[in-house]
Amino acid sequence: MTIRLYMDRNVPSAITVGLRLRGVDVLTAYEDGHHRVPDAQLLDRAQVLGRVLFSEDDDLVAEAVLRQRDGRDFPGVIYAHQLRAAIGTVIDDLYLIATAGDSDDLANMVQFLPL
């Protein structure tokens, strides 16, 4: 099984396009009409959609960590710092995660990139 990804509003479109060219199921917050909602609501939306959220936003990671501490479920967050991970590396790592794993593998976890 593969992991379906949900892209935060801060993710460069080149990452989304690169993943789609490789056949990864990606939905962006813009496409979903949720690009202006607070991080907590975006994470809730990813949960409803059954998608793991990818972000380059430190605040979103903080929200995920709060949920871990409180024992609240979330679908998982994959995070890459915008200045420390090249777009090609992020695409390669996300492709590997999306095609080699299952959504349950990332449930309630934060995965940092690069791998």
pTM of the predicted model, to two decimals? 0.95
Instruction: Name the token pair of 70.
Output: 């409180």
Q: Tokens 């695409």 map to which residue?
A: 91
Confidence at residue 82, expressed as pLDDT on a 0 to 100 scale: 87
- The CA distance from 26 to 17, in Å, is 9
Confidence of residue 32 (pLDDT cuts 50, 70, 90): very high
- The CA distance from 86 to 71, in Å, is 33
- The CA distance from 8 to 55, in Å, is 5
Q: Tokens 């909602």 map to which residue?
A: 37
Residue 3 amino acid letter: I
Residue 26: pLDDT above 90? yes
